[in-house]
């Protein structure tokens, strides 16, 4: 089977980039958003205007707020929404999906596919399901207006996995033509535990919370915000993450190795072992500003759908994660939220009652 028709769910940065890029490359795209206000500007303009790796106005075959209409006849569903919306989409898709329509969770962050499938089952879907996921979005992009998107590049050497693992090869073959940069890895545990955004975004936010709120984020997040102390906390988070991965037998590289491999810092900075230096000296990230407030995906997504599942995997593996737990707790207190309760717990990933020794089987078989 090859993919020709794609239902892209979500009309944010990722959804708009995918609709423009895939449309430009000859795929038939249906774009779904929950609110028609997100789609009306596209309808009026006759498509999405893109800059960057694709330039021009790209018409979209269907713009709809009806999930069933978007999915009907599609070869692939691409879920390009924030993690917090996965449950909503699982519930909407449960009555519509069938084994012939695989789902690509773009991105899955940590545990995205596990969570989506768990919610789908809870919503009554009982058939076979095939999902694939990348750890981050397949694009470096930004939506610059209601119907405009800048696509700076495709994300390079992007780790890809599938759940259940037994179909991962099939899913990889299906998605590879769409995104030639994807690289297959062992399982969703490996993509999930390689979520390095969660590793440094949260220390950067929590330890600069006062600065962010006082100035509306008027400083450079990497160059100024990741100081030696923030680097030390980031390193502790990274060490805990690696200890969890090791205990679960999941291959994983350090933050610095990932950061270097992604082309974000020099070999010398990586070899120094100094995360602060690697961030301060990151050439591609040097102009990136801080988020304007704590009410941002660096907290909502990277705590709730990053650190919380890291800690959950730590529980499952019997590995202590005191720094990760501390950041989850302090971030919750600052924001008046309860990330540990509302984020991706073992239960929400469908892993309640599954021991460390059964984890590999569950991830492979999906049951």
- The answer to whether 320 is a known catalytic residue is no
Region for residue 187 given its phi and psi (left: phi exceeds 0; alpha: psi -120 to 50; beta: otherwise): beta
Distances (CA, A) of 17 to 137, 153, 178, 313: 10, 10, 13, 32
Distances (CA, A) of 295 to 10, 303, 334: 20, 12, 10
280 Cβ contact partners less than 8 Å away, ≥ 6 residues apart = 222, 223, 224, 226
Q: How far apart are CA 221 and CA 276, in angstroms?
A: 11
Q: In the bound complex, what is the minimum distance in angstroms from residue 322's beta carbon to another protein?
A: 5
The full length of the chain comes to 367
Q: In the bound complex, what is the minimum distance in angstroms from residue 214's beta carbon to another protein?
A: 5
With CB under 8 A as the contact rule, the residue among 329, 338, 347, 355 that binds another protein is 329
Q: Which is nearer to another protein, 229 or 288 (CB)?
A: 229
Q: In the bound complex, what is the minimum distance in angstroms from residue 226's beta carbon to another protein?
A: 7
Q: Which is nearer to another protein, 209 or 243 (CB)?
A: 209
Q: Are strands 28-32 and 48-52 parallel, antiparallel or unpaired?
A: unpaired
**The tokens of 4 are what?**
């020709």
Q: How far apart are CA 216 and CA 16, in angstroms?
A: 27
**The tokens of 159 are what?**
């780790």
Q: Looking at residue 217, what DSSP letter applies?
A: S
With CB under 8 A as the contact rule, the residue among 126, 336, 357, 367 that binds another protein is 336
With CB under 8 A as the contact rule, the residue among 140, 327, 344, 363 that binds another protein is 327
Q: Which stretch binds another protein (CB under 8 A): 9-17, 253-261, 330-338, 358-366?
A: 330-338
DSSP bridge pairs for 58: 48
Binding mask 276-305 for another protein (x = CB under 8 A): ------------------x-----------
- The answer to whether 302 is a known catalytic residue is yes
Q: Which is nearer to another protein, 179 or 222 (CB)?
A: 222
Q: In the bound complex, what is the minimum distance in angstroms from residue 232's beta carbon to another protein?
A: 6
Q: Which is nearer to another protein, 24 or 334 (CB)?
A: 334
Helices H / strands E in the chain, number of each: 18, 12
Contacts of another protein in 148-207 (CB under 8 A): 204, 206-207
> Helices 322-335 and 228-247 meet at what angle, rounded to 10?
120
Count of positions on this chain that bind another protein (CB under 8 A): 32
Q: How far apart are CA 248 and CA 253, in angstroms?
A: 14
Contacts of another protein in 199-258 (CB under 8 A): 204, 206-211, 213-214, 219, 224-230, 232-233, 236
Q: Looking at residue 46, what DSSP letter applies?
A: T
With CB under 8 A as the contact rule, the residue among 143, 246, 326, 342 that binds another protein is 326
Q: In the bound complex, what is the minimum distance in angstroms from residue 224's beta carbon to another protein?
A: 4
Which of 44, 54, 47 has the alpha carbon at shortest distance from 29? 47
List the catalytic residue out of 13, 32, 118, 201. Answer: 201
Q: Which is nearer to another protein, 224 or 364 (CB)?
A: 224
User: Is residue 209 classed as helix, strand or coil in its secondary structure?
Assistant: helix
List the catalytic residue out of 21, 238, 302, 325. Answer: 302
Q: In the bound complex, what is the minimum distance in angstroms from residue 231's beta carbon to another protein?
A: 10
Q: In the bound complex, what is the minimum distance in angstroms from residue 208's beta carbon to another protein?
A: 4
231 Cβ contact partners less than 8 Å away, ≥ 6 residues apart = 274, 275, 276, 277, 279
Q: Which is nearer to another protein, 330 or 356 (CB)?
A: 330
Residue 334 makes contact with another protein by CB under 8 A = yes
Q: Which residues bind another protein (CB under 8 A)?
A: 204, 206-211, 213-214, 219, 224-230, 232-233, 236, 294, 322-323, 325-327, 329-330, 333-336
Among all residues, which ones are annotated catalytic? 201, 302
């Amino acid at each position: 089977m090859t993919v020709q028709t794609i239902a892209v769910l979500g009309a944010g940065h990722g959804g708009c980039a995918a609709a423009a890029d895939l449309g430009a490359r000859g795929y038939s795209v249906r774009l779904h958003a929950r609110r028609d206000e997100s789609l009306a500007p596209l309808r009026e303009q006759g498509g999405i205007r893109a800059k960057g790796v694709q330039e021009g106005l790209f018409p979209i075959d269907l713009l709809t707020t009806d999930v069933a209409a978007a999915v009907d006849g599609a070869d692939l569903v691409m879920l390009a929404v924030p993690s917090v919306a996965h449950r909503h989409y699982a519930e909407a898709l449960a009555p519509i999906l069938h084994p012939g329509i695989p789902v690509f969770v773009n991105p899955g962050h940590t545990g995205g596919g596990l969570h989506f499938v768990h919610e789908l089952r809870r919503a009554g879907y009982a058939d076979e399901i095939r999902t694939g996921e990348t750890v981050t979005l397949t694009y470096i992009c930004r939506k610059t207006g209601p119907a405009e998107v800048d696509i700076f590049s495709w994300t390079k050497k992007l780790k890809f996995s599938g759940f259940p693992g037994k179909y991962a090869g099939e899913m990889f073959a299906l998605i590879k033509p769409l995104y030639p940069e994807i690289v297959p890895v062992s399982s969703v545990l490996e993509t999930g535990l390689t979520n390095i955004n969660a590793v440094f975004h949260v220390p950067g936010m929590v330890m600069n919370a006062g600065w962010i709120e006082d100035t509306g984020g008027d400083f450079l997040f990497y160059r100024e915000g990741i100081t030696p102390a923030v680097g030390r906390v980031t390193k502790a988070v990274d060490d805990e993450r690696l200890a969890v991965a090791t205990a679960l037998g999941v291959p994983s590289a350090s933050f610095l190795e990932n950061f270097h491999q992604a082309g974000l810092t020099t070999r010398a900075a990586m070899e120094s072992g100094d995360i602060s230096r690697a961030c301060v000296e990151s050439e591609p990230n040097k102009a990136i500003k801080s988020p304007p407030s704590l009410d941002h995906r660096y907290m909502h997504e990277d705590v709730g759908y990053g650190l919380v599942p890291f800690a959950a995997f730590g529980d499952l593996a019997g590995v202590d994660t005191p720094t990760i737990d501390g950041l989850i707790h302090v971030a919750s207190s600052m924001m008046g939220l309860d990330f540990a309760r509302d984020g991706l717990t073992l239960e929400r990933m469908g892993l309640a009652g599954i021991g460390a020794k059964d984890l590999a089987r569950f991830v492979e078989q999906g049951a």
